[in-house]
Structure 1
Amino acid sequence: MSPNNISKPKAKLYYDIISPFSYFYIKQRHRLSDQIEIEPIPILLGGLFRATDNRGPGEIPAKRPHTYQYCVWLAEKLGIPFRFPEHHPFLTVAPQRLLAQENANWQMVERAFDYVWLEGKDPNLSWPQFCEYLGLPIQTPKPDSPMAKEKLIANTHLAKEDGAFGVPALVINEQCFWGLDTIDWALDYLARPGMFEEPTYLRAKNMPFGL
């Protein structure tokens, strides 16, 4: 069988367009796409935070400016065009529902991220233009159907079940790799699939809580 006919392992990438780190991640997903087939899955990050008793850096006053300035530096370091939207954080319920409703492929997902982090816009303030940017009719309404709502909720619950507590979160073979800086770790895992059964990893996983 030729290499082109060998099916790739499947993976899931949980995302929310509110996350600049998810934007940076998808701009580098080519590093993984030769080895795995990644399905983009939209979730509501705020819902995941509530479900996992977590908070985003934008909600922590001391962490907020540090994180935003780090994003500016990181974009320069990676050579990725980057522009903050009008304000941040902002509500992503409607755009994330839309992406879930449309079963957004990678092209649409990237366009959604570009609208926020390349064009520097909040989709809620320019909804018709956002839809047009995604290749949808400008008269597309903000999703309000029970099906669209339930799909985003179900995706968010699935992310929690898969071990995600933030985005971007890549899940391969029930192993969750959270954050932009875990791309190399995921690549090492693909080359060494027994990694998490090694004694040092098992000990780290079962480390007793000391407080």
Structure 2
Amino acid sequence: MSAKVAATFYYDIISPFAYLYVKQRHRLESQLDITPVPILLGGLLRASDNKGPGEIAAKRPHTYQFCVWQAEKLGIPFRFPEHHPFMTVAPQRLLVEQKADWTMLEKAFDYIWMEGKDPNLSWSEFCSYLGLASDTPKPDSPAVKEQLIANTQQAKQAGAFGVPALIVNQHCFWGVDTIAWTLDYLSRPKMFEEASYAYAAKVPNGLA
């Protein structure tokens, strides 16, 4: 049996698509050894001159309703929180502080996208949901703050411009709909060296 390929999964619990990805990660786990890394999506979007769909009025209802449809098709429980988007600085710092494994981060996603709650409005309950003491404070140490910033910068340097983003062999696969693409790549590791893919990556910008 061949060794698993190392991969990095960048996430922010604000993303419904990252939630749907986490619920399907088993499709990749036989071939990939995936390390989850919490980042701040807002920071990554600013660094890459990008916007989330929740910030674009015309795109917002379409995207949110698509999430509902996609969850239905996948058979994944799904419920929007009280409001969205919301600040995830404190919960993402907590996941950094706790060195969250897949079990803990999945619980964090579930709290938002299954229970339909904003952890900022019920911090004690959120902590208990993760298996932590209910009086766990919101992380405020410089080391945790700096680590979350560093993680976000690391994601940008790896080629990520949104979440969920999976980095495999220096290739960025962005979005829940790229799981199938990732599987194809793993069975065809020279894919990005093929002429059509190489050309697509360097097509001249006619508006530049």
Q: Under a length normalisation based on structure 1, what TM-score does the superposition of the two structures give?
A: 0.97
Q: Does 1:56 align with 2:62?
A: no
56, 79, 89: which one pairs with 1:83? 79
Residue 200 of structure 2: SS of its match in structure 1?
A: helix
132, 135, 140: which one pairs with 1:144? 140
AA at the equivalent of 2:40: L
AA at the equivalent of 2:64: Y
Q: Which residue of 2 aligns with 1:172?
A: 168
Q: Which residue of 1 aligns with 2:206?
A: 210
66, 71, 77: which one pairs with 1:70? 66
CA distance in structure 2 between the aligned counterparts of 1:75 and 1:190, rounded to whole angstroms: 26
Residue 119 of structure 1: SS of its match in structure 2?
A: coil
Q: Which residue of 2 aligns with 1:196?
A: 192
AA at the equivalent of 1:133: Y
| 4+ residue segments displaced more than 6 Å | none
- Residue by residue over 1:129-148, the C-alpha shift from the partner in whole angstroms, topping out at 9 and shown as x without a partner, is 10111011111100111011
Q: Which runs of 5+ in 1 are unaligned?
A: none
Q: Under a length normalisation based on structure 2, what TM-score does the superposition of the two structures give?
A: 0.98
CA distance in structure 1 between the aligned counterparts of 2:35 and 2:125, rounded to whole angstroms: 26
- Residue by residue over 1:63-84, the C-alpha shift from the partner in whole angstroms, topping out at 9 and shown as x without a partner, is 1111111111111111100010
Residue 171 of structure 1: SS of its match in structure 2?
A: strand
Q: Which residue of 2 aligns with 1:131?
A: 127
Q: Which residue of 2 aligns with 1:32?
A: 28
Residue 77 of structure 1: SS of its match in structure 2?
A: helix
CA distance in structure 2 between the aligned counterparts of 1:50 and 1:141, rounded to whole angstroms: 28
What's the offset of the Cα at 1:163?
0.3
87, 91, 96: which one pairs with 2:92? 96
Residue 37 of structure 1: SS of its match in structure 2?
A: strand
Count residues with an aligned counterpart.
207
Q: Which residue of 2 aligns with 1:16?
A: 12
What's the offset of the Cα at 1:7?
2.8
Q: Does 1:106 align with 2:102?
A: yes
CA distance in structure 1 between the aligned counterparts of 2:173 and 2:67, rounded to whole angstroms: 20
Cα RMSD over matched residues? 0.6
What's the offset of the Cα at 1:101?
1.1
Residue 186 of structure 2: SS of its match in structure 1?
A: helix
AA at the equivalent of 2:191: M
CA distance in structure 2 between the aligned counterparts of 1:188 and 1:69, rounded to whole angstroms: 28
Q: Which residue of 1 aligns with 2:111?
A: 115
